[in-house]
Copies of this chain bind each other. A is one copy, B any other.
């Protein structure tokens, strides 16, 4: 808790966040938020001022995903806050602990509910009501006395649930003195003893009866720091482990038990087959959704599944309430469990082969791009992928144990990667960041590289330019998938920062990546991809998605 000397609401807020281990805050000011920003400036936190609110949210999210601490996004009332809603929705959907701090009108301004204030929409409560849809807790600090309590309440909820929270700070209340928070004896949640015992015993029994178990280690393990426990289970029983696109590289891809990314029809065939033929799929911390699971979820029979997340636990068709994720893992590991043997296991992403002299002059493809990237991503580097082939192609990207991998592979909002990379670079300055983004997504948030210029960050941004909305073309084509072709390399001149490369062949691509890695400056590499070229994984997915939609339409008629 911050020191005992009297605090204003503003000084408490930022000191408390600093004590939670947060070092940076991302934001854009506006007049309702200026006094809040003044307190931020006086605190021990560093403000990263950005250019556009959608990017503020994604950057704070990138920071949170890297640090596993709260990502803080500080904006102004409505014109800022509402402009950031999609990014916060992404964090909500992917269970990332984002804290939105918004400026707001004073209690006096709000006295008459029909009073019109600039930035006000329907009611003074509109922004908070909207944010309640994408947060686990919210507060409007109208009373300085209780403000510290409210701040602690929201921050704790964000930490416990790994979901976004919202705090609205009136521009005058932020300067007022607050009472030290009334920290009740904190009652940590506990598992229901009976449910836990039953669930663990049933899971252990199922595992003992299994012949081909597999663990799918998904993103909640990372969010809640349970990855090591999950691997302890895998190693104790010698159970193979797959990840999802969201959790790629949370498990080391070099681990002998790792069998690659499970993404339904987008997976490597052997990996897909192994998981879908398993008689005991142990899903840990997984979002079982449509695209993320490559429409394979329907191939997974609940009768063959054990599913445990921060919110629920089930063995086959039975659900068990009030079971803490960590308790399930520790208690299961403590059981008497079998050890499994395997003649061979699917291999994860192919080990990338160096380019041969013959192929250097060939036009680059998505497949070869990720192969080349895999040759040059170094220790402790971070890879951040936007949607479309920028992320699906990464199923086959070979990463190292020390690499971080960020994507919004469940929510799939275009525009995530460039700003999330800013957040990642701020979170881990010694970890060089590779950003992989399509041309369409780059047009949305690409100029947020301005923030890299402002703070001297040096990401390597790689634009896969296939001239339009490539994924959508595969699903249903039309003129609406065409975009204006930018001279993307001019971005470095626009920002007067960084070095740009324009590549078309495999050799050029490798040379650019090597040069970018070696140079101590920001790099922007535009890679020209043929409009009809796709990763193997996306080809499979796109066709399935089209067929599914056609089938559903026929069925519905």
A residues whose Cβ falls under 8 Å from a Cβ of B? 27, 29-31, 34-35, 37-38, 40-41, 47, 49, 51-54, 78-79, 82-83, 85-86, 89-90, 92-93, 106-108, 116-122, 126, 129-130, 133-134, 171-173, 175-176, 287-292, 410-415, 440, 443-445, 447, 450-451, 453-454, 469, 471-472, 475-476, 478-488, 490-491, 493-496, 545, 549, 552-553, 555-557
Contacts and interface: CB of A to CB of B under 8 A. Distances in A.
Given A79-B412, A412-B79, A289 B117 contact: yes
Contacts of A117: 289-290
A293 B511 CA distance: 59
B29 A480 contact: yes
Contact of A472 (B34, B471, B485): B34
Nearest to A409: B118
A287 B480 contact: no
A415 B28 CA distance: 13
Nearest to A449: B484
A49 to B, nearest CB: 5
7 contacts: A38-B476, A78-B413, A119-B413, A121-B134, A443-B447, A450-B486, A487-B496
Nearest to A52: B444
A116 B49 contact: no
A85 B130 contact: yes
Given A487-B493, A556-B172, A133 B130 contact: yes
A445 B79 CA distance: 14
A469 B49 CA distance: 11
A166 B37 CA distance: 35
A263 to B, nearest CB: 12
B472 A171 contact: no
B484 A494 contact: no
A214 to B, nearest CB: 20
B89 A121 contact: yes
Contact of A51 (B30, B443, B478, B487): B443
A472 B116 contact: no
A553 B476 CA distance: 57
Contact of A116 (B82, B287, B496, B556): B287
A278 to B, nearest CB: 21
Contacts of A126: 89, 133-134
Contacts of A52: 54, 415, 443-445
